[in-house]
Amino acid sequence: MANVRIAERVRTIEYAIRDVIVYARALAKAGRKVYYLNIGDPVAFDFDTPEHIKRALFEAVRSGANAYSASEGLLELREAISEKEKRVNGVDVSAEDVIVTSGISEGIQMVMAAIVEAGDEILLPGPTYPPYISYARFFGGKPVTYRTVEEDGWQPDIDDLRRKVSDKTRAIVVINPNNPCGALYGEKVLRQILDVAAEHGIPVISDEIYDQLVFEKRFVSTASLAKDVPVIGLNGFSKAYLMTGWRLGYIYFHSPKGELKELKECVEKEARIRLCANTPVQKAGVAALRGPQDHIREMVLKLKARRDYAWKRLNEIEGISCTKPEGAFYVFPKIHYVGSKWKTDLDFVLELLKETGVLFVHGSGFCPVYGAGHVRGVFLPPIEILEEALNLLERFMEKNR
């Protein structure tokens, strides 16, 4: 028998958002109805990719745009990204400083691979999007979460962030609007984070995939405020442009003094060894950015109504409290009986799923310290589906007081 040795770095990979689906599949296979409130995929519900983007993909394939493209991405798309960042976010970044990726997740992987070595630390908001934790560890580094304050709308605790910077810190990550909490960071807190980064001479990685999905307040891009701090921007087409399964994202390198030149060159090398992002989808990405944008406003209005309903209902359930999300499409409620009725938030998630078919993600999967005792859900389904799911949750909580 062959002796197949498995690398330790893959044994410990976790991705809470999809890991819980394993349990739901068993339930669905048994004929039970499952309410999938775990994955942030609007296209899985009643949101659809705009027709002009679909047509652009069809035309790209028909017209022969089916060969490999440049590893850094089609120039036309990188130019459209540069235009979008200036128009939407007030960020001046040239097409030459953009690399197209197969979704934002590949961008996270590439950046982490380029900056993390054994023993290095990456500062992440706690709770955080799990791939940042997983990729930091995958490359031998240590993810360090800085506190965000639930009572203050999950805003970063700047003093805690400053305390956790060390000589091993390689970058500060900002996720704005935040996944999993839906927090929106304003100009003041972003400037404070940039000040900490400037004090220690480290870059900021700014994940802005939900930049256009905000409700009452205005989104501010980190790079638009950065004067002396290099910012690595991560963004993509999955959310605002409803292209989740198309897997298209980008990295940009914003450093007026050129501090990111070598990093960009090294990430370009990574892009070459994976050849290129999907060529016809890149063509559709151009149409997404340069075509009609009306669907975004309609999407935000629909999401806001669902946010308001879900947030109100959650806070009416005894044993649950929830901070109001200001962007994205997530709720991150606290389950007050975790630690008494249920030992862990995962225990709560699994028992709720088994008894009701309602699937959330355990909060500790987003950070074992600052996410524990919570669950993450989406408010993407129509209100009538949300009502069914939250009615089941309410009855479950009443039963388990």
CA distance 61 to 57: 6
Q: Among 10-14, 60-64, 141-145, 381-385, whose mean pLDDT is lowest? A: 10-14
Phi, psi torsion values for 84, nearest 5 degrees: -65, -45
List the beta bridge partners of residue 327.
Answer: 214
In sequence order, what DSSP letters do the residues of 189-250 get, joined into one string? HHHHHHHHHHHHT--EEEE-TTTT-BSSSPP--HHHH-SSS-EEEEEESTTTTT-GGG--EE
Predicted pLDDT at 16:
58
What letter does residue 123 receive in the DSSP assignment?
A: E
State which fold the 51-290 domain adopts. Aspartate Aminotransferase; domain 2 (3.40.640)
Provide the 10 A C-beta neighbour count for residue 235. Answer: 29
pLDDT value of position 17: 64
Q: What is the pLDDT of residue 401?
A: 83
Q: Which residues pair with 99 in a beta bridge?
A: 251
Mean pLDDT (the chain) is: 95
Confidence (pLDDT) at 256:
82
What is the pLDDT, as a whole number, of residue 4?
84
Q: CA 364, 370, 376, 380: dihedral to nearest 10 degrees?
A: -140
At what angle are helices 103-115 and 130-138 packed, to 10 degrees? Answer: 40
CATH says 8-48+295-399 is which class? alpha beta
pLDDT digits (tens, 9 = 90+) for 250-270: 999 999 889 999 999 999 999
Percent of the chain with pLDDT over 70: 98
Q: Assess whether pLDDT exceeds 80 at residue 2.
A: no
**What is residue 20's predicted lDDT score, i.e. its pLDDT?**
76
The residue ranking higher by pLDDT, 189 or 339, is: 189
Q: How confident is the model at residue 274 (pLDDT cuts 50, 70, 90)?
A: very high
Nearest to 345 by CA among 374, 378, 318: 374
pLDDT for the residue numbered 14 = 67
114 pLDDT more than 70: yes
Segments of the chain assigned to CATH 3.90.1150.10 = 8-48+295-399
Residue 23 has pLDDT above 70, yes or no: yes
Contact call for residues 82 and 238 (beta carbons, < 8 A): no
pLDDT bucket at 399, cuts 50 / 70 / 90:
very high
- Is the pLDDT reported for residue 31 higher than 80? yes
pLDDT confidence tier of residue 15, bands split at 50, 70 and 90: low
CATH 3.40.640.10-classified regions of the chain? 51-290
Condensed to tens digits (0 to 9), the pLDDT of residues 288-337 reads: 999 999 999 999 999 999 999 999 999 999 999 999 999 999 999 999 99
Span 331-378, pLDDT tens digits: 999 999 998 899 999 999 999 999 999 999 999 999 999 999 999 999
14: helix, coil or strand?
coil
The predicted pLDDT at position 386 comes to: 97
**pLDDT tens, residue by residue, 146-185:** 999 999 999 999 999 999 999 999 999 999 999 999 999 9
